[in-house]
Amino acid sequence: MILLVAILAGLAAGLFLALIQKRSWTVPPLKQAWLVVVAFIPQFINSYLPATRGRLSNDWAAAGLIFSQILLLVFCWFNRQVPGVWLLALGLVCNMVVIALNGGFMPISPQTAGRLAAPDILARIPIGERFGYKDILLLPDQTRLAWLSDILLPPRGFPYQVAFSPGDVCIAAGAFWCLASQGKTPDTNRSERLKGT
Amino acid sequence: MKNQLAKLFMLSQKVNRQHIQVVFMLLTLVLFVLGASAPDDAGVLPRR
């Protein structure tokens, strides 16, 4: 949800910049987009498809998550020239490393999870069990690279409470940059300006 | 009916290659973001 907001904000910023620069908004040239579709399939099965959602064993779900993130990293390599993609890749690597080091799921502490779920429900989830679709409930001292896990929260009282990781912040920033830059590198912008003069 | 079909045809002609590219690019980015990120809003659990 918060990441989709980053995409919409990036799109709006890109269109606004195109408007004030009096030129048409161009699409960032993304290569090998099919990799993203294939990468999303395991996560679609594990987290989105109602018939299979949450029914996969922990091993399959974890393997699917890692497989999916490796494919997304390959996609980033093919698109490394697109502005913002290095930030997307940085966020992806941060998430992938912390997930891989903690049993294939994103760690979340009981304290952070306490802001999201009702206390009686949380009390019934043992430490080390899955929390949601991609997360695992772990104490901070049991978590490897805890600073890369889902440790961030919006301010109290914010209508939509969600835990997110520093990697998620990089991904949101990368998606925003990719769209706001209108698919142009600073060099192409400079050469266009020179052509105009 | 004929008029509506004609309007639909006109509209489809306005959808050019770039519009389709924009849609595919946005879809790719949405799938990427959903796949790469791991925010948790405890969607399967009763909320606080």
**By the 8 A CB rule, do A136 and A129 touch?**
yes
Instruction: Say what the pLDDT of residue A193 is.
Output: 54
The answer for A 43-102 residues in CB contact with B (under 8 A) is 43, 53-54, 68-69, 72, 75, 88, 91-92, 95, 99
Contact call for A135 and B40, based on CB within 8 A: yes
Write the DSSP assignment of A90-152 as a string of letters.
Answer: HHHHHHHHHHHHTTTSEEE-HHHHTTTB-HHHHHTS-TTSEETTTEEE--GGG-TTGGGSS-B
Residue A93 gets the label, from left (phi > 0), alpha (psi -120 to 50) or beta, of alpha
Let me know if A25 is exposed, middle or buried by CB neighbors in 10 A (0-12, 13-18, 19+): middle
Chain B positions contacting chain A at CB under 8 Å are: 18, 21-22, 24-26, 28-48
Residues of B in contact with A179 (CB under 8 A): 29
Instruction: Say what the pLDDT of residue A86 is.
Output: 95
Find where tokens 């990697």 sit. A167
Instruction: Say what the pLDDT of residue A101 is.
Output: 95
Contact call for B41 and A75, based on CB within 8 A: no
A106-108: strand order across its sheet:
A106-108, A135-137, A130-131
- Mean pLDDT is lowest, of A3-7, A51-55, A91-95, B32-36, for A51-55
- Greater confidence (B29 vs A55) lies with B29
Contact call for A27 and B33, based on CB within 8 A: no
Instruction: Say what the pLDDT of residue A38 is.
Output: 96
Which residue of B lies nearest to A132 if distances are taken between CA atoms?
B42
For residues A107-115, average pLDDT: 92
Measured in angstroms, the CA of B5 and the nearest CA of chain A are apart by: 30
Tell me if residue A163 falls in helix, strand or coil: strand
CB atoms within 10 A of CB B46: 10
pTM: 0.84
CB atoms within 10 A of CB A181: 21
Residue A189 host element (H or E):
helix A186-196
- CA–CA separation, B31 vs A39, rounded Å? 9
Measured in angstroms, the CA of A81 and the nearest CA of chain B are apart by: 15
Query: Is residue A114 over pLDDT 80?
Result: yes
Contact call for B38 and A117, based on CB within 8 A: no
The answer to whether residue A2 neighbours chain B at the CB level (below 8 Å) is yes
DSSP label of B47: B
The encoded tokens of residue A41 equal: 């399939």
The encoded tokens of residue A157 equal: 């009282």
Contact call for B39 and A2, based on CB within 8 A: yes
DSSP lists the bridge partners of residue A137 as A108
Longest dimension (CA), chain A: 67
Contact call for B48 and A117, based on CB within 8 A: yes
Contact call for A132 and B43, based on CB within 8 A: yes
Contact call for A54 and B43, based on CB within 8 A: no
Write the DSSP assignment of B3-37 as a string of letters.
Answer: HHHHHHHHHHHH--HHHHHHHHHHHHHHHHHHHH-
